[in-house]
Structure 1
Amino acid sequence: MAAFRNQTPLPNIRHARNGSECRVGPYSLDGMDTTTGTVYEFHGCAFHGCPKCYPGPVQDVQHKHPYDPSRSMRDLYQKTQERHRRLQEQYGMQTIRVMWECELEEERRHDQEMDEFLQGLEDQQWPAPEPLMPRNAFFDGRTNAIQLLVNESVEDMRYIDVVSLYPYICKYGTFPIKEPTIVTQPDQHQWQQYEGLIQCSVLPPRGLYHPVLPFRRKQKLVFALCRSCVDEHMQQGEIAEYQPCEHTDEQRAWVGTFVTLELKKAVTLGYKVLKVYEVWHWKEFSTYDPEAKTGGLFTGYINHYLKKKMESSGYPDTCYTEEDKTRFGNDVYDTEGIRLDPASIKPNKGMRAFSKLQLNTAWGKFGQRDNFPKTEYITEPSVYFEKMLDVTQTVRDVQLVNDNMVLMETLKKEEHVAP
């Protein structure tokens, strides 16, 4: 049962929680020991025609497929057996370990420890988050008002705007390269050895003026020091009168996915990492070296359009002489590693706007959502029913166009969107 509990060190079993399910021919396997070739399968009784739950003639007469009444439970069981046969004979999977849903329920009735473990997952009393999704660590851009109301006697109001933030990060930021090592049983006490993404539960400090780690509630990104306070305020539907937080540490903490660099900074400001669930660890990174003027994942792209932007902006107003212009070009090279073409340095509003757009939208394009609704016209009944029964997507809308055609809108379920 260790393979199903995932509590103790396991053999090299690859599954959905440590990368992705192995695919052999047309089949996705629940689990597979990559060293021995042992296949692990968990079968729901109603979906695979369990011979214990639906024995003998009952498989044909009394029980039909839950989504397709034209098929019997015997059909399901035979299809399952055919799957196992092909895995062994056609694809060389010699050992297939199968657990049926009813067998698991029977074991739960006789194994209190297992039952409590699984019940904790179901009730979410034991934190059991979904597999790490990289997008959950991407919190988009944000703005913040430190003070919402000022007295009319205040003469100066100030704001901070980081110039060219997106291009700067793309050029000077550190980016992982190649594939990560996915760690599903990370060292709880040595998590700072990892570099990449960490899914963990965190406890924020009390009284920190600028919280570091955000979380989402009702599609809103909030920076707060108590999860329960945010939940209570949102339930009231308005900003309630300020009350000191009296929640326990357990009520204040939350589970999130963070970049290790961000998490390490938060720890220096009083955050505590309570438990680490999963880590995507990278060994290689790409960073721009301003001294050698080499490296960086997006350096070539950023330099190309930054050069266009600076040339089409013309010389600064402080450049009066040829010596000033030469000094300006040298300063740009020393600072950014970009050689400007003196003949091309002249105001061009159109080119400047285009170059600026290219610089600022690169970050947004790479951060774009990867799950959009799909709309299609369907004329074949088989295609219609296939999509209606597809458990990997949600049918959002179906409209009858005419007697021979429907318009269907579908959306992939988040757990089935490839990271």
Structure 2
Amino acid sequence: MTLGSLPKHFSPKIHRVNLVSEKFVKSPLAHVPSEGYTKRYNHSKSSIVWLEWMMKEEKMSIQHALNRGEFKIPGTKFHVDGYCQETNEVFEFLGCLWHGCKKCFPCERSGTKTSLTKQSMDELYVVTKKREKTIRELGFGYRKIWEHDFASQLKSNQRLKLFANNLDIEERLDPRLAFFERSITGTYATPEVMVAKEKGYRVLKLYEVWHFPDDTQYDKNTNSGGLFTDYVQLFLKIKQEASGFPHTVGQRKKNETTFDCIKKMKA
């Protein structure tokens, strides 16, 4: 195995363990959580389709994640999927896995747990029912639909299916999948977008933006800055130590040549 093949196998782990072990609280590197930055307020595409369908069918205005943001019930920590101010109604789209659906998970409910929260289906269902009870007791109307029920409606209701297909809605950004399916809707770094605009391209619609206000660049004079400076220099040091001095020159010349090469590479 060569140093060149290390990045594929071990380098990411070496970088995380040895070079940024003290930087998980505050770091120039973006350590994206597996569930994303918005795990507390995540929404699904299906939930938005349902809420938009309710708005169309019942001629009402519903506040949700993609128009005015999820409504927070005063005096609680509850952010609800949808809220209609005119009728004072709360709308909840219950994902079967995350709310302990009894129809989809009928067996071994106490032993079946989600990988994210480690809660069992029974525990999730109890939490869901308590949440509903609290919302009703606060004076709100409460309407819900289970994920499997909406999926059935999508199959049987042709009007709903056509409506869903015509809605311009994207799933939440997953940076680990950002390089796939980019032919129609792309995921770009801001510098790419700026260059494209300089070339005459137009941005027609934005779905989601992850803004990182800070940046860093390697400074050859101070030998600092940049995201991967320590990482690169670690392997450069190992490579140079393993290679040794050239065999064709004397000892003093070897030293001078080697040091000159190191300076040029760092610059």
Which TM-score band (shorter chain)? 0.3 to 0.5
Name the structure where strand makes up a greater proportion of residues.
1
Q: Select the structure of larger CA radius of gyration.
A: 1
Name the structure where helix makes up a greater proportion of residues.
2
